[in-house]
Structure 1
Amino acid sequence: LPECIRVELAECFAGSVIAAWEVPLFLLPQVLQQAHDFVVEYWEQVSQET
Protein backbone atom coordinates (compact mmCIF):
# COMPACT_ATOMS: atom_id res chain seq x y z
CA LEU A 1 0.00 0.00 0.00
CA PRO A 2 1.44 3.39 -0.90
CA GLU A 3 2.12 5.83 1.91
CA CYS A 4 1.07 8.90 -0.06
CA ILE A 5 -1.54 9.73 -2.63
CA ARG A 6 -1.56 12.59 -5.13
CA VAL A 7 -4.80 14.50 -5.46
CA GLU A 8 -5.17 16.72 -8.52
CA LEU A 9 -7.83 19.30 -9.09
CA ALA A 10 -8.34 19.78 -12.83
CA GLU A 11 -10.83 21.40 -15.16
CA CYS A 12 -12.70 18.67 -17.01
CA PHE A 13 -12.75 20.30 -20.43
CA ALA A 14 -9.52 22.31 -20.43
CA GLY A 15 -7.58 19.54 -18.74
CA SER A 16 -5.35 21.99 -16.92
CA VAL A 17 -4.42 21.20 -13.33
CA ILE A 18 -5.59 23.95 -10.96
CA ALA A 19 -3.93 22.51 -7.86
CA ALA A 20 -2.31 19.31 -6.64
CA TRP A 21 -1.57 17.83 -3.26
CA GLU A 22 0.60 14.87 -2.27
CA VAL A 23 -0.65 13.65 1.06
CA PRO A 24 -0.27 10.71 3.44
CA LEU A 25 -3.22 8.35 3.17
CA PHE A 26 -4.29 8.93 6.78
CA LEU A 27 -4.76 12.64 6.01
CA LEU A 28 -6.94 12.02 2.96
CA PRO A 29 -10.29 12.85 4.63
CA GLN A 30 -9.01 16.24 5.82
CA VAL A 31 -7.43 16.96 2.44
CA LEU A 32 -10.65 16.18 0.61
CA GLN A 33 -12.46 18.64 2.87
CA GLN A 34 -9.79 21.26 2.15
CA ALA A 35 -10.08 20.55 -1.58
CA HIS A 36 -13.84 21.02 -1.36
CA ASP A 37 -13.41 24.35 0.42
CA PHE A 38 -10.80 25.38 -2.17
CA VAL A 39 -13.16 24.56 -5.05
CA VAL A 40 -16.01 26.54 -3.49
CA GLU A 41 -13.78 29.58 -2.97
CA TYR A 42 -12.18 29.24 -6.42
CA TRP A 43 -15.56 28.93 -8.11
CA GLU A 44 -16.89 32.01 -6.32
CA GLN A 45 -13.89 34.00 -7.58
CA VAL A 46 -14.35 32.73 -11.15
CA SER A 47 -18.07 33.49 -11.04
CA GLN A 48 -17.42 37.08 -9.95
CA GLU A 49 -15.01 37.65 -12.85
CA THR A 50 -17.60 36.82 -15.52
Structure 2
Amino acid sequence: MLDVEDVWFQRVAGIQPSDPLPETVETDRDTIRAHWDKVEKKSALILLLYKMTN
Protein backbone atom coordinates (compact mmCIF):
# COMPACT_ATOMS: atom_id res chain seq x y z
CA MET A 1 0.00 0.00 0.00
CA LEU A 2 2.86 2.38 0.75
CA ASP A 3 4.14 2.12 -2.79
CA VAL A 4 0.95 2.89 -4.73
CA GLU A 5 1.56 6.63 -5.06
CA ASP A 6 5.23 6.08 -5.87
CA VAL A 7 4.43 3.59 -8.65
CA TRP A 8 1.67 5.82 -10.05
CA PHE A 9 3.91 8.90 -10.32
CA GLN A 10 6.72 6.88 -11.86
CA ARG A 11 4.41 5.38 -14.47
CA VAL A 12 2.96 8.80 -15.31
CA ALA A 13 6.52 10.01 -15.87
CA GLY A 14 7.35 6.97 -18.01
CA ILE A 15 9.84 5.66 -15.48
CA GLN A 16 10.19 1.99 -14.63
CA PRO A 17 8.79 1.72 -11.08
CA SER A 18 11.41 1.10 -8.43
CA ASP A 19 11.32 -1.88 -6.12
CA PRO A 20 8.75 -1.67 -3.36
CA LEU A 21 9.66 -1.57 0.29
CA PRO A 22 10.54 -5.22 1.04
CA GLU A 23 8.01 -7.04 3.20
CA THR A 24 10.84 -8.35 5.33
CA VAL A 25 11.78 -4.82 6.43
CA GLU A 26 10.64 -4.02 9.90
CA THR A 27 7.85 -1.51 9.45
CA ASP A 28 8.27 0.72 12.44
CA ARG A 29 7.37 4.37 12.23
CA ASP A 30 10.90 5.55 11.44
CA THR A 31 11.31 3.09 8.56
CA ILE A 32 7.96 4.05 7.07
CA ARG A 33 8.70 7.77 7.47
CA ALA A 34 12.10 7.44 5.77
CA HIS A 35 10.55 5.52 2.88
CA TRP A 36 7.70 8.02 2.54
CA ASP A 37 10.15 10.95 2.53
CA LYS A 38 11.83 9.40 -0.52
CA VAL A 39 8.45 8.89 -2.22
CA GLU A 40 7.48 12.53 -1.60
CA LYS A 41 10.78 13.83 -2.99
CA LYS A 42 10.48 11.72 -6.16
CA SER A 43 6.85 12.77 -6.64
CA ALA A 44 7.72 16.45 -6.26
CA LEU A 45 10.56 16.11 -8.78
CA ILE A 46 8.31 14.36 -11.29
CA LEU A 47 5.68 17.11 -10.94
CA LEU A 48 8.32 19.81 -11.34
CA LEU A 49 9.74 18.18 -14.48
CA TYR A 50 6.25 17.80 -15.88
CA LYS A 51 5.47 21.45 -15.21
CA MET A 52 8.74 22.55 -16.87
CA THR A 53 8.08 20.54 -20.02
CA ASN A 54 4.41 21.36 -20.53
Q: TM-score range by the shorter chain?
A: 0.5 to 0.7
Between Structure 1 and Structure 2, which shows a larger proportion of strand residues? 1
**Structure 1 stretches lacking a partner, 5+ long:** 12-16
1:1-50 correspondence to structure 2 within 5 Å? 7-8=3-4, 9=6, 10=8, 18=11, 19-20=17-18, 21-23=20-22, 24=25, 25-26=27-28, 27-50=31-54
Higher helix proportion (structure 1 or 2): 2
Structure 1 ranges of 4+ moved more than 3 A? none
Give the percent of matched residue pairs that are identical in Structure 1 and Structure 2: 0
Greater relative contact order structure (CA < 8 Å, 6+ sep): 2
Q: Which runs of 5+ in 2 are unaligned?
A: 12-16
Q: Aligned residue pairs: how many?
A: 41
TM-score when normalising by structure 1 = 0.58
